[in-house]
């Protein structure tokens, strides 16, 4: 090796300017990936907690209402409750009052429907594969298979769309975040 070559090698070993840039170039993609994941999980958590808060608030409001005694009162209560849940164009909401009446928000309008139940009767609903099985109408106070007694119930549910950066992980199933509450009317 020539004398100039030896000097050049010594100089390169002693000179560490630019090493920070090389280290940053190696570490930056990993840090950006971690940051994107934190932002994605935070955004999904915010969507879920916001939806949970709206459903809980609507359920608490329902507890302050009188138990509907007929079909018209059940439909009126369902509409009032679903109007509390109304969200944006990519959100849906549904309220079912004692398996007698339902109201739904589809992102642009509220629709109502009669259901097969009787608003004046009581039920013993059970959760079956993420859906409510209302069972047969019975007299209020009749013992249920669960050990509780039959009563008037309201189901409040809502969904919203959430686009993830990294699909298929955490608590998000597909691109929808959903929550539901079933409560017994006083």
pLDDT tens-place string over residues 42-82? 888 898 899 999 999 999 999 999 999 899 999 999 999 99
> Taking the CA of residue 116 as centre, how many other CA atoms within 13 Å lie in the half-sphere pointing to its CB?
6
Tokens of 137: 């109408």
Tell me the pLDDT band of 19, cut-offs 50, 70 and 90: confident
Q: What is the pLDDT of residue 59?
A: 94
Q: Is there a domain that residue 125 lies in?
A: yes
Number of domains into which the chain is organized: 1
- Model's pTM, two decimal places? 0.79
Q: Is there a domain that residue 6 lies in?
A: no
Contact status, residue 38 vs residue 46, Cβ threshold 8 Å: no
Q: Look over the chain and give the mean of its residue pLDDT values, rounded to a whole number.
A: 87
Q: Is there a domain that residue 115 lies in?
A: yes
Choose between 114 and 8: higher pLDDT.
114
- Greatest Cα pair distance in the chain: 104
pLDDT tens-place string over residues 143-182? 998 888 999 999 999 999 888 877 766 566 678 888 999 9
**Nearest 5°: phi and psi at 5?**
-65, -40
pLDDT-above-90 percentage for the chain: 49
- Domain extent at residue 155: 21-184
Q: Strand, helix or coil at 53?
A: helix
């Amino acid at each position: 090796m020539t004398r100039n070559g030896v000097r050049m090698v010594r100089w390169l070993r002693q000179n560490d300017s630019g090493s920070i840039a090389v280290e940053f170039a190696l570490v930056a993609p990993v840090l950006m990936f971690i940051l994107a994941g934190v932002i994605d999980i935070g955004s999904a958590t915010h969507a879920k907690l916001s939806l949970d808060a709206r459903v809980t608030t609507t359920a608490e409001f329902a507890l302050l209402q009188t138990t509907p005694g007929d079909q018209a009162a059940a439909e009126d209560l369902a509409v009032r409750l679903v109007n509390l849940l109304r969200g944006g164009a990519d959100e849906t909401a549904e309220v079912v009052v004692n398996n007698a009446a339902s109201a739904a928000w589809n992102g642009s309008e509220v629709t109502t429907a009669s259901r097969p139940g009787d608003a004046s009767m009581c039920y013993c609903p059970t959760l079956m594969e993420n859906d409510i099985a209302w069972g047969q109408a019975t007299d209020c106070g009749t013992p249920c298979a669960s050990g509780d007694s039959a009563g008037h119930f309201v189901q409040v549910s809502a969904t919203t769309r959430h686009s993830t950066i990294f699909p298929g992980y955490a608590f998000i199933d597909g691109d929808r975040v959903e929550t539901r509450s079933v409560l017994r009317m006083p």
